[in-house]
Amino acid sequence: MMQWIAFLFFASMTLLSALGVVLLPNIIYVILSLLSTLVMVAGIFFVAGAELVGALQLLIYAVAIAVFYILVLTAVPWEKALKKDSHYRVEGVLTFPILLAFYLEIILVFLLGISVSPKGQIREFIQSLGNTQVVGSILFSKYFFAFELVSLVLLVGMIGAVIIGRKEDKTYEDSSP
């Protein structure tokens, strides 16, 4: 019962904050709503018993990525964006039911797969060890190659971000005829 109350609180706060991300006009309020959404999703992870993912959600998402967004917001002057008359593309609303129907289909397929799949073979193993130990042992044995690939993707993304964000030496103006 306590778990239900916590889940309902975190879920309703997540949806409210996500509505704020989608609908608020001022970009500073939008990033505050995004921060609230990330913290509440971490609470949902804690309710579901995934302590490691929840802690990393707080550490990486709610600290690193949010600070990164704020840094970019301070680097780019947004005065022109703030005095624009409309912040929303209203005709985009028309595509929303189609996307929702597609995602409902995905959920239906997922529920079918859940109903025929076996469950709970290693639950005793997990409860005897604790979440972080099980995730670590499976991450570094079964998914070790994927883990190394993710680190490679991080390296490539870092180099790409540095090269894209580098200051050019007026090559675009000079090369035009």
Partner 1 sequence: MKIVPLEAYLILSLLLFGLGVFGMIVRRNLVAVLMSTELALNAVNVAFVGADSHLGLVDGQIFALFIIALAAVEAAVGLGIIVAIFRLRKVESSDELTDMGG
Compute the residue count for the chain: 177
Residue 7 near residue 47 (C-beta atoms within 8 A): yes
Question: Any contact of residue 86 with partner 1 (CB under 8 A)?
Answer: yes
Question: Any contact of residue 116 with partner 1 (CB under 8 A)?
Answer: no
Binders in 92-111 for partner 1, by CB under 8 A = 92-93, 95-96, 99-100, 103-104, 107, 110-111
Residue 39 near residue 58 (C-beta atoms within 8 A): yes
Tokens describing residue 31: 């990033």
Binders in 45-74 for partner 1, by CB under 8 A = 45, 47-50, 52-53, 56-57, 60-61, 64-65, 68-69, 72-73
Q: Which is nearer to partner 1, 164 or 174 (CB)?
A: 164
Q: How far apart are CA 64 and CA 69, in angstroms?
A: 9
Cβ atoms < 10 Å from Cβ of 37: 21
- Tell which one of 84, 116, 169, 174 touches partner 1 (CB under 8 A): 84
Amino acid identity for residue 168 in this structure: E
- Tell which one of 74, 120, 145, 174 touches partner 1 (CB under 8 A): 120
